[in-house]
Amino acid sequence: MKPLSRRQMAWRAAQDLEDGAYVNLGIGLPTLCSDFIPQGREIVFHSENGILGMGPAPRPGEEDKDLINAGKQLVTLLPGGVFFHHNDAFLMIRGGHLDVALLGAFEVSEKGDLANWTTEDPNFPPGVGGAMDLAVGAREVRVLVEHVTKEGRPRIRKHCSYPLTAPHCVKRVYTNLAVLDVTREGVVVREMVEELDLEGLQALTEAELRLANDWRRLAAPEV
């Protein structure tokens, strides 16, 4: 069995972003997705700090310190991109105007509950940023996350053990091992990497899994 690399995970999630979609990429791994948009698709990336039509990182010498993304990395603006203030940025999020929010997570439950804002580590002050707004506001919330923690603890659980970001919001989860849909009938496996079977995936997952009739192998090019 060969898990996807982080860049391959981002590649896989990027394939599902449709032409013309308005998308917010969460800080960290999701941000990588913008590198892997299939040719010919126009995706409009939204940033909480007041940008639609965000482009890639600037080339050396073209950096502008007033042009950053929500992760505070320098970015660029595409033709057609626009600036607005924070309140309008969150009106877009909370009012259901974004097609997709692709977020990181600590845990996802079988009901689609999302926990991605605090581990309640007393040494680590909490911070929520725009996570709760994105989780309740985007038309579709997808999660991009490694299937288990570094310690091997499953992230897809019956119930989240960490405080929730929002209940019942996640529709799809991309991991380094599988693509999973959260449905009314529970968590459905759509794709699994080569040499992994349902039993093997279930052993790494706390939530009960069902295999889709039309499930496929999860594969990604070297990226």
Partner 1 sequence: MIDKRVRSLAEAVSGVRDGATVLCSGFGAVGEPVELLNALRETGVRDLVCVANNAGTGDEGLAGLIKDGRVRKIICSFPRTTDPHCFEAAYKAGKLELEIVPQGTLSERMRAAAAGIGGFFVKTAAGTQLGEGKETREIDGELYVLEQPIKGDVAFCRADRADRWGNLIYRKSARNFNPVMAMAAELTVVQVREIVELGSLDAETVVTPGIFVDRLVVV
**Which spans of this chain sit near partner 1 (rule: CB under 8 A)?**
19-20, 22, 40, 42, 44, 46-53, 64-68, 72, 77-98, 118, 125-133, 136-137, 163-167
Pairing outcome for strands 186-193 and 178-183: antiparallel
Among this protein's residues, is 48 annotated catalytic? yes
First to last CA, the chain: 18
Is the CB of 10 or the CB of 134 nearer to partner 1? 134
Q: Indicate the residue among 35 and 42 with the shorter CB distance to partner 1.
A: 42
Return the number of other C-beta atoms located less than 10 Å from residue 84's C-beta. Answer: 13
Task: Tokens 């997570």: give the residue.
Answer: 105
Between 54 and 189, name the residue whose CB sits nearer to partner 1: 54
CA–CA distance, 18 with 110 (Å, rounded to integer) = 26
Q: To the nearest whole angstrom, how small is the minimum distance from the Cβ of residue 126 to partner 1? A: 5
Q: What are phi and psi of 170, to 5 degrees?
A: -80, 130
Minimum gap (Å) between residue 171 Cβ and partner 1: 16
Residue with tokens 């990182």: 57
DSSP structural state of residue 46: E
Measured from the CB of residue 187, what is the shortest distance to partner 1 in angstroms?
A: 20
Q: Which of 48, 107, 110, 206 is catalytic?
A: 48
Point out the residues that are catalytic: 48
